[in-house]
Amino acid sequence: MIVTTKELFAHAYGKYAIGAYNINNLEQTMGLFEGNVRSKAPFIVQLSKGARSYSHKLMLETLMTTADKIFPEAVFAVHLDHGDEETCMDCIKSGVYSSVMIDASMFPYEKNIEITKRVVDAAHAKGLVVEAELGQLKGIEEDVSAAEHVYTRPEEVIDFQARTGCDSLACAIGTSHGAFKFSGDQKLRFDILEEVQKKLPGFPLVMHGSSSVPPGEVARINAAGGAIKGAKGVDATQFRQAAKLGVTKINIDTDGRLVWTRVHREYFRDKPDQFDFRKPGKIFMKEYADFIYEKNCLLGSADQVDDARAYIQSQKK
What tens digit of pLDDT does each residue of 184-195 get?
A: 445 678 999 999
Pairing of strands 144-146, 139-141: antiparallel
Comparing 28 with 213, which gets the higher pLDDT?
28
Instruction: Give yes or no for residue 196 having a pLDDT over 90.
Output: yes
Residue 188 CB: number of other CB atoms within 10 A?
19
pLDDT confidence band for 142 (50 / 70 / 90): low
- Alpha-carbon span 136 to 138, nearest angstrom: 7
**209 has pLDDT over 70:** yes
Q: Is 276 exposed, middle or buried (0-12, 13-18, 19+ CB in 10 A)?
A: exposed
- Per-residue model confidence as pLDDT tens digits over 10-37: 999 999 999 999 999 999 999 999 999 9
By percentage, how much of the chain surpasses pLDDT 70?
A: 92
Q: Rounded distance, CA 252 to CA 238, Å? A: 14
Segment 115-135 shows an average pLDDT of 97
Catalytic site residue from 68, 81, 167, 273: 81
Per-residue confidence (pLDDT) for residue 55, from 0 to 100: 86
Residue 290 to residue 217: CA distance in whole angstroms: 13
Q: Give the chain's end-to-end CA distance (angstroms, integer).
A: 16
Q: Hey, what amino acid is at 187? A: K
Whole-prediction pTM value? 0.92
pLDDT of residue 182: 43
Torsion, Cα of 300, 257, 192, 41 (10° steps): -20
List, for residues 285-308, the tens digit of each pLDDT value.
999 999 999 999 999 999 999 999
Which numeric CATH code is attached to 5-315? 3.20.20.70
**CA–CA distance, 58 with 64 (Å, rounded to integer):** 10
Domains of the chain, residue spans? 5-315
- Half-sphere exposure of residue 314: CA atoms within 13 angstroms, side-chain side: 9
pLDDT tens-digit profile of 232-285?
Answer: 778 888 899 999 999 999 999 999 999 999 999 999 999 999 999 999 999 999
Among 143, 139, 119, which residue's Cα sits nearest to residue 131? 119
- 81 tagged catalytic: yes
Q: Assess whether pLDDT exceeds 50 at residue 181.
A: no
